[in-house]
A and B are shown apart, each in its own frame.
Chain A
Amino acid sequence: MTRVINKNSLDKEMSRGSSMSKNGQVTIFIILALVLVGVVVVIFAFPSVNVFSDSVNPGAYLKSCIEPEINNIKNTLSEQGGYANPPHYTFYQNMKLQYLCYTTENYLPCTVQQPLLVKHVEKEMKAYIEPRAKQCLQDLKNQYERKGYRVSSGASEIQISVIPEKIIVDFNAPLTITKESTQTFQKFAVAVDSKWYELILTAVSIIQYESTLGDSETSLYISYYPNLKIDKTRRDDGSTIYQLSDVTTEDKFAFATKSLVWPQGYRG
């Protein structure tokens, strides 16, 4: 009886041990699978992180570092008529829309308030991006140094260009890295796809109509450019809200004008 009990308990112990070992194996496989999935996710989510070698792709690193900042400032400027802090604006759907053409007088076309809109937008973007871009460059140097490279760099400067279908950030940053061999970089360029230039130039054209004729005919634009959407809202105070967007992308540009105002109560 005792022997039977002992055999039974031995069998149970063995079977428990075997079951535990199977559970352990399964756990190890799950952990390995999770690690593998994690590595794959890191490789695809952060292409600049090279897990197989100690080299860093400077272009990809700078793009991943600066692109979120470009999108941040682009979104702000898009909703505020090209101004990070609009000096003269009207509230519309919780947005401060800068007046790009404005008059205080009745019956008169507006006076242009910002004639060089593309240049102004580039200036606003530069003011916002430059400190972050310099930090990205410093981080890049630190990465190289951590990997045992000797790094020497000159004065850096960034330049923003808003051009058709793209926003380009040029890093004029001479950089020399040395380990077994020496690599020298003079300039890095980060390009982000955007239809912003087309929208801003449409805004300039609308301002020209508003400042000369006092109003604009938006159906003309959308018949020429099928991807363009224009929402034009006339308000009681005489101001007009323009919201331009590209239907194929997320790009938009909103601004306000006040032109050819009829006094309140006047019914023509």
Chain B
Amino acid sequence: MNRNLILLSLIILVVSSFGVTIAQTGTPNNPNVGTQATTVCCEETNSGAFCQNVPPAECKPSSRQVPTSCEATSYCRGGTCYDSTEGTCLDNTPQLVCNANGGVWNQDRPAQCDLGCCILGDQAAYVSLVRCKRLSSFLGLETNYDKSVTNEVACINKVQQQERGACVYEFEFETTCKFGTRAECNAQTGGNATVQAGTFYAGKLCSAEELGTNCGPTTKTTCVAGKDESYFVDTCGNPANIYDSSKINDKAYWTDVKGKDESCNPSSGNILSSSCGNCDYLQGSICRNENQAGKNPTY
């Protein structure tokens, strides 16, 4: 038994020493057999790429190179680069690339990059707080940010469920109206001395006669940001219901907000229709001005 064990050990020793010898010497035709091509972490390659694991010959002579993986170096380690102006964050960014371009680098994702729901009027974006502030300032809106929302779908749903209606207020001794959300109606009053506090009528259009405003029906139409459909416009410039040439003189259609399903041909894309503005991007149609569409509404 002992003799067998000794024999087996000897065989293993001889075979493994052969293997080591072959790996170290290689063959004349393929000198790298059994070895890995050595790479270095190169700060900048000859082709201009930053922080790449490449063979030393591909590394720019003047740049730093360390015979290890870039993840193991301090300057090329990947982390999160935060743009404090735009409020955006990019992962897998080398420290030196981030710092050289004016960003703030962190190995772990910093708290500034945490996402939340940013409400922008009737639109929403799932972004960081700083990004939300920047977007709100671009649109001239107060920042409305909810960090308790944990995903993009919930964020979009939140804004889609916002109550919309007519905001009736006094302006320069006239009763006028602005169509929008309840929050916008509450926010719009206060700052401007000539505007008095508004009253919100959920689900009503500004052209509703019962509101007694100076807004009434017109035959004009418009596109609304973020919507596929073409909408009627009232005399105050507010969007009303979806354009339907048969409803121009229909008082009920100018009183209450009608959904897409309650409007003309909801199951069709109504491509290039002159009588129905119920467009649907997924069915190949979207609201455009007459020059771009090449077709006018007919009344």
Interface residues of A (CB under 8 A from B): 87-89, 99, 102-105, 109-116, 118-120, 163-164, 201, 204, 207-208, 211-212, 223, 226, 248
Asked if A88 and B47 make an inter-chain contact with CB atoms under 8 angstroms apart, the answer reads: yes
Asked if B52 and A104 make an inter-chain contact with CB atoms under 8 angstroms apart, the answer reads: yes
Chain B residue with the shortest CB-CB distance to A163: B138
Which of B47, B83, B93, B282 makes the CB contact (< 8 A) with A119?
B83
Which of B54, B101, B281 makes the CB contact (< 8 A) with A114?
B101
Quote the shortest CB–CB distance from A170 to chain B (angstroms).
16
Please give, as numbers and ranges, the residues of chain A lying within 8 Å of B48 by CB-CB distance: 87-89
Which 5 A-B residue pairings sit nearest by Cβ, starting from the closest? A88-B48, A87-B48, A115-B81, A211-B92, A112-B93
Q: Tell whether A116 pairs with B103 under 8 Å between CB atoms, given A111-B93, A163-B138.
A: yes
Please give, as numbers and ranges, the residues of chain A lying within 8 Å of B88 by CB-CB distance: 201, 204
Which of A88, A116, A207 makes the CB contact (< 8 A) with B101?
A116
Please give, as numbers and ranges, the residues of chain A lying within 8 Å of B89 by CB-CB distance: 208
Asked if A103 and B52 make an inter-chain contact with CB atoms under 8 angstroms apart, the answer reads: yes
> Taking each of A116, A204, A207, A226, which has the highest tally of chain B beta carbons within 10 Å of its own beta carbon?
A116
Question: Can you list 21 A-B contacts (CB < 8 A)?
Answer: A99-B49, A102-B49, A103-B52, A104-B45, A104-B49, A104-B52, A104-B54, A111-B51, A112-B92, A112-B94, A112-B97, A113-B97, A115-B101, A116-B83, A116-B103, A118-B86, A204-B86, A204-B88, A211-B91, A223-B282, A248-B288
Asked if A212 and B91 make an inter-chain contact with CB atoms under 8 angstroms apart, the answer reads: yes
Asked if A211 and B93 make an inter-chain contact with CB atoms under 8 angstroms apart, the answer reads: yes
When each residue 36-59 of chain B gets 1 if its CB lies under 8 Å from chain A and 0 otherwise, what string results? 000000000101111111100010
Q: Say whether B26 faces chain A, with CB atoms less than 8 Å apart.
A: no
Which of B53, B138, B286 makes the CB contact (< 8 A) with A105?
B53
> Which residues in window 61-83 of B have CB below 8 A to A?
70, 78, 81, 83
Asked if A115 and B83 make an inter-chain contact with CB atoms under 8 angstroms apart, the answer reads: yes
Asked if A119 and B54 make an inter-chain contact with CB atoms under 8 angstroms apart, the answer reads: no
Please give, as numbers and ranges, the residues of chain A lying within 8 Å of B58 by CB-CB distance: 104
Q: Tell whether A248 pairs with B81 under 8 Å between CB atoms, given A87-B48, A104-B54.
A: no
**B interface, over-half SS:** mixed
Q: Say whether B102 faces chain A, with CB atoms less than 8 Å apart.
A: yes
> Which residues in window 248-299 of B have CB below 8 A to A?
281-282, 286, 288, 292
Please give, as numbers and ranges, the residues of chain B lying within 8 Å of A116 by CB-CB distance: 81, 83, 85-86, 101-103
Measured as residues with beta carbon below 8 angstroms from the partner, the interface class of chain B is 35 or more
Please give, as numbers and ranges, the residues of chain B lying within 8 Å of A87 by CB-CB distance: 48
Please give, as numbers and ranges, the residues of chain A lying within 8 Å of B282 by CB-CB distance: 223
Q: Say whether B228 faces chain A, with CB atoms less than 8 Å apart.
A: yes
Please give, as numbers and ranges, the residues of chain B lying within 8 Å of A223 by CB-CB distance: 281-282
Question: How distant is the Cα of A208 from the Cα of B115 in the complex, in angstroms?
Answer: 14
Please give, as numbers and ranges, the residues of chain A lying within 8 Å of B117 by CB-CB distance: none
Asked if B51 and A248 make an inter-chain contact with CB atoms under 8 angstroms apart, the answer reads: no
> Which residues in window 108-145 of B have CB below 8 A to A?
138
Q: A104-B49, A211-B93, A223-B282 are in contact. List 8 more A-B contacts (CB 8 A).
A: A89-B48, A102-B52, A111-B70, A115-B83, A118-B86, A208-B90, A211-B91, A226-B281
Q: Say whether B240 faces chain A, with CB atoms less than 8 Å apart.
A: no
Please give, as numbers and ranges, the residues of chain B lying within 8 Å of A103 by CB-CB distance: 52
Quote the shortest CB–CB distance from A108 to chain B (angstroms).
9
Please give, as numbers and ranges, the residues of chain B lying within 8 Å of A111 by CB-CB distance: 50-52, 70, 78, 92-94, 97
Quote the shortest CB–CB distance from B262 to chain A (angstroms).
23
Please give, as numbers and ranges, the residues of chain B lying within 8 Å of A207 by CB-CB distance: 90
Question: How distant is the Cα of A39 from the Cα of B265 in the complex, in angstroms?
Answer: 53
Chain A residue with the shortest CB-CB distance to B69: A105
Question: How distant is the Cα of A120 from the Cα of B288 in the complex, in angstroms?
Answer: 33
Please give, as numbers and ranges, the residues of chain A lying within 8 Å of B177 by CB-CB distance: none
Q: Say whether B98 faces chain A, with CB atoms less than 8 Å apart.
A: yes
Chain B residue with the shortest CB-CB distance to A116: B101
Asked if B50 and A212 make an inter-chain contact with CB atoms under 8 angstroms apart, the answer reads: no
> Which residues in window 207-226 of B have CB below 8 A to A?
none
Chain B residue with the shortest CB-CB distance to A122: B85
Quote the shortest CB–CB distance from A219 to chain B (angstroms).
11
Chain A residue with the shortest CB-CB distance to B135: A164
Asked if B83 and A110 make an inter-chain contact with CB atoms under 8 angstroms apart, the answer reads: no
Asked if A88 and B49 make an inter-chain contact with CB atoms under 8 angstroms apart, the answer reads: yes
Please give, as numbers and ranges, the residues of chain B lying within 8 Å of A113 by CB-CB distance: 49-50, 97
Question: How distant is the Cα of A105 from the Cα of B49 in the complex, in angstroms?
Answer: 12
Quote the shortest CB–CB distance from A82 to chain B (angstroms).
12
Question: How distant is the Cα of A82 from the Cα of B102 in the complex, in angstroms?
Answer: 16
Question: How distant is the Cα of A42 from the Cα of B94 in the complex, in angstroms?
Answer: 54
Asked if A119 and B52 make an inter-chain contact with CB atoms under 8 angstroms apart, the answer reads: no
